[in-house]
Structure formats: C-alpha cells, structure tokens
Structure 1
Amino acid sequence: MYILPRFFPIFLAVLASLTAPAALAHEFWIAPTKYQVETGAPLVARLRNGQNFSGISYPYFDHQTARFELVQGGRVTPYAGRMGDLPALSATSDGDGLVVIVHQTMPSSVSYAEWEKFAAFAAHKDFPDIRARHIARGLPENGFSETYTRFAKALVGVGTAQGADAPTGMETEFVALANPYTDDLPQGFPVRLLYQGAPRALAQVEVFDRSPDGAVTITRLRTDDSGTANIPVAPGHEYLLDAVVLRPAPAGAAEVWETLWAAMTFSMP
C-alpha cells in the first residue's frame, strides 16, 4: 500500500490507535503549541494520548468527537476542523483574554484478556477495592471490557490573558480557581474536580510536571472535602492534571466497567 507523504503522520496515528489497545488506558490531553499568544495570533493544539506526559498526536475526526469548543469570557465557540487535521486544532485567537479549550471524546472501549492488566490500571488510578467490587458483581476475571470517555481542558492566555475558567457541564472536569497567567500563586494553583456537577471529594489527582529542560516528575495529590486541590507550581513549567472515575457500565452495555477521564493542561510563565 502506497501512502502519500503528507498523509503519513495521520496514517501512523490511526494505526497506533488501532494496534495498541493497551495505550488506551493512558492519559489523554490537549497540548497547545503555545500557552500564551498575542491577540490575533494562531492558536494551535494537538490531542495527545500517552504516558508520562509524552504520547502520540491524534488527528481531528468528527466521529470521535462529542464536543470541541473554545470558551472565552463566557462565550462558547464550537470548533470543527477538517477530517484528518493534524494538529487537531488550528484557530485564530481573535479576542483578548483567557481561552479554555474544551474537548470531549465519544465513548470508546478496550478489552482485557487478563485480570492483572485491569487490576494494575485500577490500582494506579486509586481504586484498591476493584477486585472486591468486580467479584461482588459476579463478573468474569478474564475476557471483559471497559468503555471510556475523555474530558479534557487546556488554559491558553491570549493577549493580557485576563479571565477565569468555569464549569462547562461535562460529566467530570477540572475547573481552575485561579488564572495561571495573571495571578500570583505562592500557595499553588487551586483547582476543583467535579463529577456530575458536584465537587468530587477525596479523589486522586495525578500531576505531571514538565520542567524547562524537559524532565517530567509525577506526583499524586488528593482533593479535600470541597473537591479542591492546590497544585505546587514553578515558573516555566508545564502541567497536566489527570483524574479518573471508575463505575459500572450502563445497564445493557456490552462493557462491564466505565471510566471517565478528566484532564487539564496549563503552563506557568
């Protein structure tokens, strides 16, 4: 099969998504080319899936996208790219202020031939009781599947970058309680984790911190009773926050478990 050179990166991304099901349990995030741009400058971002804040870039496909929006000053602008666009987002930052890029995927599924792989994933994402829950539901230890949906946000400062994040109505999401591009954050960057519109208390938040030299450190925090976590931050660093809901799949579904992944990316000037 001959593939035109300009379509080769897209082919690789699609091939990876079809041939590496284990990677589907990895983090998914929005990766802006620049987190701060001038008013009127291009606003470009990739959709990435991987581990340790490193992963492959996915093209834009409308059948895999439930929501793709730019939110600025309370105004929501739906985004629709061209099929196969890579990077997935290429827009113009016409307005001055904080832009929140919102991306929700369509549900996908992954199968587990062996219990150990699912158990390792569940333990990593802070569900130590998963075996007891699995057995209590009378589920098989091998040969079952999970459905998953991604709910990602990225904070981009345009011009003065003034503005604030707000809930978008996604089933789970991080909401920034400060602006990383305009606020003084000596106590850290505060975020609130929501699930079905309510604060998600005592939930694990995995923090991926990329330093200016490219080194990535990973820490795990926990939200307080109000669903809030303060993220330690440093100038020049880029951050990915990740939190997962694990629940029984809807009645009648072929899958037995469902995961909902919240992600947020931002950087510090």
Structure 2
Amino acid sequence: MSRLACLVMGSLVLTGKLYAHEFWIEPSVLMPALDEKLNVQVRVGEHFEGELFPFQPRAYEAAYWIGPETVLPLHTQPLAQRDLSLSAQGDGLHILAIASFGRTLTYTSLSEFEAFAAEVGASAVLAGVQLQAEQDGTLQETYRRFSKMLVHFGSKSGADKRLGLEYEWVQSDKGIALFSPQGRVPHHPVDLFCRQSNGQVRQHRLYTDSTGQVLPDVAMAERCMINAVFLTPSKTSKRWSSDWVSMFWVN
C-alpha cells in the first residue's frame, strides 16, 4: 500500500518528505444535468495532485448530501452499497460535506515535524513551544479532515451556507470565509489551488483578512480547492493534533 493510501486507511510512519497531505472531493461531472447521476472522487495528495480513492460514506464520521431543500445523511446508509452515485434534489447548488475520524501519523524526528509545520504555514504555532519527542525520538500527530464539495445541477443558482462542521469554508459573493468552533478565523494561512483549462495548476499562499475571509482571484471555469490547517499541541508537546479544512468548487 502506498504512503498516501495509508493516510486514508490508517496510521503512517513518515520515512520521507511527505509533509503536506491535502484531502478534497471532486465531482465526476462539473455541472451535471438535473436527471444525471453524479459520482464523486476522493483525492489525497499535494499541490492539487493526488491518489484517487472511492467514496465510501460509512468510512467517515459524518457525510451529508445537501440539496436546495433536503439534508441527506450518507454515513448511516448500508456499508456495501454498489451504487454510490448522487442524485439532484432540485435545481441549483448541492453540497457534499464530510468529517473524518481521527488518524495518527508518526514523525521519526522533531525536524520532520517542524518541516511539516513550515509546509502548511504553521511555524508560528511552534514559536515558544519546547518540542518534546518520545523516548524513541518520534512525535505523533492525530489529524482530522473537514471537507466540502460544491456542485450545481441544472443552473448556477443557490448559495453556500454554514452547515455546522467543526471547521468549514463558506463561499459567498463577498469571498470565502473560514470558520472554526470559535467562529470566523482572521489572519490564518491558507493554500489556494486552481487547475486551468490547459491542466496547469496555480498555487497561492493566502491569509484570511480581519473578518476571516479571502477573496481569491479565480478565472471562469477553473477548478479550485482551498485548504487550511489548524495545528494544536497537547499539554506535553509530544503529541499534536491537526485539523484540515478544504473546499472544492468550479468557478
């Protein structure tokens, strides 16, 4: 099994420079017709490139399919359903929202963990913290994923909204707002990835403003994913937790 597959399926001991591991969900059709079935693809990787995994709703702590009028829980459905395609619940915006169970990574050295923190823009969190390793020199991080996919059936009507995920992005005509359990998150580093029509990927490190929003410069028809990471130490600083929050949409 590959390292990225391990990230999805279970624990991982880092042996190379695999620090960032974004997670997002993409639709099989960018703007499906009202009568069209939609399949989704789970991706784990870096720089908007990654390995592809099947979407199994029961593998997540929570998975919801939200239409214009209905919220459908998917994580309570039978485990081995063959047809995991999604159907429109009306014209306009639909949202697939998921929250994962916690998984554990083991870093083989403190320097590897510091490199990971730098990669996701979280070096400031380490400032003033005395990192401590276990007796074997390792350090553990427990991570969770919170992800949304926005897709329109029929027309581009409808607006994104706060769904109540612990960490969540919410898109509006004023920008994209980042939420944590404490509310909007100002001055937080985020990464924006956009795939152009020629297949090339643009990547930008941005920061939310004083209201917790970013206003990304996105061209029409670009596929985009925005990601933020929240890194939190335990009392001993030997164990850390990270919460990854992403959203995929087509402009």
Q: 1:62 to 1:76 in 2, by over 3 A?
A: closer
Which residue type is aligned with residue 194 of structure 2? D
Q: Would you say the 8 A contact 2:20–2:119 is kept in 1? A: no
Work out the CA distance in 2 between the residues paired with 1:197 and 1:43.
34
For structure 2, list consecutive stretches of 5 or more residues without a partner in the other structure.
Answer: none
TM-score, normalising length: structure 2: 0.85
User: Which of 54, 59, 75 pairs up with 1:59?
Assistant: 54
Cα displacement string for residues 138-185 of structure 1 (whole angstroms, at most 9, x for unaligned residues): 62283110101000001101112311111111111100113xxxxxxx
Q: 1:110 to 1:14 in 2, by over 3 A?
A: closer
Q: Would you say the 8 A contact 2:101–2:144 is kept in 1? A: yes
Which residue type is aligned with residue 206 of structure 1? D
Work out the CA distance in 2 between the residues paired with 1:126 and 1:78.
33
Q: Would you say the 8 A contact 2:140–2:240 is kept in 1? A: yes
Cα displacement string for residues 91-110 of structure 1 (whole angstroms, at most 9, x for unaligned residues): 11242110011011111110
User: Which of 173, 177, 184 pairs up with 1:192?
Assistant: 177
Q: 1:244 to 1:14 in 2, by over 3 A?
A: closer
> Which residue of the partner structure matches residue 109 of structure 1?
104
> Which residue of the partner structure matches residue 118 of structure 2?
123
User: Which of 64, 70, 73 pairs up with 1:69?
Assistant: 64
For residue 114 of structure 1, report the CA deviation from its aligned partner.
Answer: 1.1
Q: Does 1:45 pair with 2:40?
A: yes
Cα RMSD for the two superposed structures: 2.9
> Which residue of the partner structure matches residue 221 of structure 2?
236
Work out the CA distance in 1 between the residues paired with 2:9 and 2:19.
8
Cα displacement string for residues 167-210 of structure 1 (whole angstroms, at most 9, x for unaligned residues): 111111100113xxxxxxxxxx7100001150000011100111
Work out the CA distance in 1 between the residues paired with 2:8 and 2:123.
30
Secondary structure at 1:42 match in 2: coil
> Which residue of the partner structure matches residue 257 of structure 1?
240
The range that moved more, 159-168 or 220-229, is 159-168
Q: Does 1:218 pair with 2:203?
A: yes
Q: How many residues align?
A: 243
> Which residue of the partner structure matches residue 161 of structure 1?
156
Cα displacement string for residues 220-253 of structure 1 (whole angstroms, at most 9, x for unaligned residues): 111111101101010221101000111124x79x
Q: 1:67 to 1:202 in 2, by over 3 A?
A: same
Q: 1:119 to 1:155 in 2, by over 3 A?
A: same
Q: Would you say the 8 A contact 1:176–1:190 is kept in 2? A: yes
Q: 1:160 to 1:63 in 2, by over 3 A?
A: closer
Structure with greater helix share of residues: 1
Q: 1:256 to 1:44 in 2, by over 3 A?
A: same
Work out the CA distance in 2 between the residues paired with 1:152 and 1:109.
18
For structure 1, list consecutive stretches of 5 or more residues without a partner in the other structure.
Answer: 1-8, 179-188
For residue 19 of structure 1, report the CA deviation from its aligned partner.
Answer: 8.5
Work out the CA distance in 2 between the residues paired with 1:229 and 1:127.
18
Cα displacement string for residues 7-28 of structure 1 (whole angstroms, at most 9, x for unaligned residues): xx9xx95798468654584000
Which residue type is aligned with residue 179 of structure 2? L
